[in-house]
């Protein structure tokens, strides 16, 4: 499958992976928008948040289970932001579900 993030997961494209387990990989965003900016994603290829099936629930439960640990790894103890863009109108550019985890600065609201 011609998916950038599947290639990163399969080590066909280099990346700076900071956490990995059976279900999840976390690597540094190539264009960081904060001092700490990583992408958390399921190893299973799911294109968008609208493609999640009931049987995927465990994977997303797992992502939230590891979230505090990963947030701490990128300096999120004082606060962080978790973002998921769904479809191009919301800014999604890679169609393999990923959560942006950003930390290390103050964040405005509402987002742009
Ligand atoms: P989105 O626009 O929400 O789909 O997020 C895609 C993110 O992937 C962007 O923040 C990009 O900077 C990031 N990105 C694109 N290519 C790479 C890459 N090769 N390694 C790490 N991050 C990437
Ligand atoms: Zn993929």
- To test the pocket of ligand 1, the residue of 29, 47, 101 to mutate (highest count of ligand atoms within 8 Å of its CB) is 29
Q: How confident is the model at residue 1 (pLDDT cuts 50, 70, 90)?
A: confident
pLDDT tops 90 at residue 64:
yes
Domain limits for position 69: 4-103
pLDDT of residue 56: 98
Residue 17's Cβ-count burial label (10 Å; 0-12, 13-18, 19+) is: middle
Give how many domains the chain has, as a whole number.
1
pLDDT of residue 83: 98
- Report yes or no on 111 lying in a domain: no
Does the pTM surpass 0.85? The reply is yes
- Report yes or no on 110 lying in a domain: no
The structure tokens listed for 76 are 């999120």
Q: Which of 23, 62, 96, 98 is catalytic?
A: 98
CATH number at residue 83: 3.30.428.10
């Amino acid at each position: 499958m011609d998916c950038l993030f599947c290639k990163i997961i399969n080590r066909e494209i280099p990346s700076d992976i900071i956490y990995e387990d059976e279900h999840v990989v976390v690597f540094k965003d190539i264009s960081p928008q904060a001092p700490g900016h990583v992408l958390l994603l399921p190893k299973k290829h799911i294109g968008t948040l609208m493609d999640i099936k009931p049987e995927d629930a465990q994977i997303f439960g797992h992502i939230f289970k590891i979230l505090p640990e990963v947030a701490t790894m990128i300096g999120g103890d004082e606060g962080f932001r978790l973002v998921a863009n769904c479809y191009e109108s919301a800014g999604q550019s890679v169609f393999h579900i990923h959560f942006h985890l950003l930390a290390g600065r103050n964040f405005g609201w509402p987002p742009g």
